[in-house]
Amino acid sequence: MEWSREIADALNIPLDKLPKIVKPQEIIGELTSDIAKRCGLAKGIPIAAGASDYIASCLGVGLTRPATYLEIMQSYYDYSLREKRNS
C-alpha cells in the first residue's frame, strides 16, 4: 500500500511528509516507560496502528461480507453497504 503520487503532487504534498500506510493490526511500537508510568501500565505493551471508529464499526458488524448493511445515526447520518461484485 502506498500514497498516490498523482494526488499528492496535485495537492502539493511531499510524500516524505506523509506517514507510512500500515494495516490496522500491525504492531507499530511499544509503550514507553514514561507513558506507561503516567498511565499505570507496564512498559513495552505492543501498540497496534488501529482504525477509526467508523471502520472499526464496519468490521465489528461484519460489513466485510456481501449483502450486509450498517446504518449509523449520530449528529450526522451515514450508511454503508457491501455489495457482491461480479468479477
Q: State the Cα–Cα distance between residues 73 and 61, nearest whole angstrom.
A: 15
How far is CA 33 from its chain centroid? 26
Q: Strand pairing of 77-82 and 46-48?
A: unpaired
Q: Per-residue pLDDT for the chain (87 aa), expressed as one digit of tens each?
A: 899 999 999 999 999 999 999 988 899 999 999 999 999 999 999 999 988 877 887 888 788 777 777 777 766 656 666 666 665
Question: In this predicted structure, what is the pLDDT of residue 48?
Answer: 92
Please give the model's pTM, rounded to 2 decimal places. Answer: 0.53
Please give the pLDDT value at position 53. Answer: 79
pLDDT score of 9: 95
